[in-house]
Structure 1
Amino acid sequence: MIRSILVALDDTAGAVAARDLALALARATGATLSAATVLDWPHVKDANEAVPPGAAAFKERRDAARAKRLETEAEAAFSACTQAAEETPFTRLRLTDAPAPALLAASATHDVIVIGRDSTLGLEQNDEGLAPVIEDLLREGARPLLVVPPGPAVGGDILVAYDGSVPAMRTLQLFALLGLGDGAAVRVLSVDDKPAEARRLAEEGAAYLRHHGLAAEAVAVEGSHPLEALLAEATAMPARMLVMGAYEHRGLRALFTGSLTERLLTAAPCPVFVTH
């Protein structure tokens, strides 16, 4: 069962949705909640930045303005979290490293990181709609992520992408042990060019979840376009959560590498529980 949640705060729509989902999870499970802002001092106060002669005073004023803006935004995020939390307790974390190392360090004492898909976190840019820190957290971190899109939460069943790979097995186990599917119906989807193999894999994943007391249904899809199959199924259900592993190399595994992972995370209509 989940015991501790780390949520990253800022003012983007996805981060607000992530905050609300983290609060709902804390209320439902009794898990402790840490709400973190990231004040990216390494970029604000770049000691290695080349400064032309006579420009030191300008840099000092610019850095001070940036620092003040981040402090103001952090306080606003904490205030909004307090209002949304009502009686739900949470711990404030004021992180002052760059986003990736800050969240990686904080995650060591938490079960899952909840983060908005479009989060900017301090001075980090996000021109593609997917927070750049997410790739770092997946590649270097030991904790699963719950990547939350903008917009209100949607009810429905949970969709699990399963291909029998080690990351898929690991993700399935974490999902079951953390209790994220408790009380929900779960659909385990497998995609393969061979229908019999798709059915075998889907039933394998569903059987594992049934051993953990979940109502799991196997869904087999014949084909070679797992991205389209997953997005179509998640939209049609509609899914309240998509569960998947990352970084493999065939079938559904080919989906969870590089740009395809990014495309799925960017386009998913619901929060995505993902591990590497």
Structure 2
Amino acid sequence: MSKTGHEGHAHEEGHDHAQVVTASNERRIRFVLIFTASYAIVQAIGGWYSGSLALIADAGHMVSDAAALLLALIAYRIARRAADSQRTYGFHRVRVLAALANGATLLLLVAWIAWEAVQRINAPVEILAGPMLIVAVIGLGVNVAGAWILWSGNKGDSNLRGAFLHVIGDLLGSVGAIAAAIGIMLTGWTILDPILSVLVAGLVVRSAWSLVSDSIRVLLQAVPRGVDAIEAERGLAGVPGIAEAGHFHAWTLTDETSVATVHVSPATGTDPLSLPPLVSAWLKERYAIDHVTVQVDPRGELKSNHE
């Protein structure tokens, strides 16, 4: 970092990294979380009693979605906690760590379901289709109620929207379990149960892998999706008033907030102090980066640093 350069810190919203918290939406998510987690327990017990692996798999799917709801709730709570002198960006990474642990646990659950399904396909077991159908119908009702509660909230809240999509996935799982139970009752084909369990496990593994991969990207401070560091430097170097750009770094702070640092040099006749807001505005428009710290170096210094 040049001792002769100028440093600029640009942020359109000031220095507050907190997300907007809507009390009504938080209540909705909390209510659906309680419903979803409670029914996941009922569904797991019902799956064990009826011998239905599909119900157990769907219980795992509901656990994954309950975890997603819990993470959304954590995001709301974190948004209320102010940063301090030791944690200048606040406590946002707590949610990332929770997501990573949740995703890893769910992947282990999927592995068990897949193994058990293969065993049942090779050696079918008796399925009590009646209790399976009753539990699945109750699950459908719970998911319909949860979807309606979330859908009627603030449509602009990304946490609420994500929770709604998770509940829709649960709803489809319940429809599948109902279809499998009816199919077993009508045909006696118990193989329908492990087949459905594998399909539901596919939904779980998709959500789990997304949690794990996204969490790892954040913890490794990889550039936000859609951002190319080299292209960003080239683009900034072409902005009127900027002669050179380099040392661009960007990373994700929260799901909706990204941070970047960059060095630039002013073109001839350009006031160096005018560059930080110029760079911030360009990165905000091009890559939706919210928080930018700019180091302004003398012309020619960035080239010598790259050599």
Do the two structures share a fold, i.e. TM-score over 0.5?
no
TM range (shorter): under 0.3
* TM-score under structure 2 length normalisation: 0.24
Larger Rg: 2
Structure having the larger proportion of residues in helix: 2
Structure having the larger proportion of residues in strand: 1
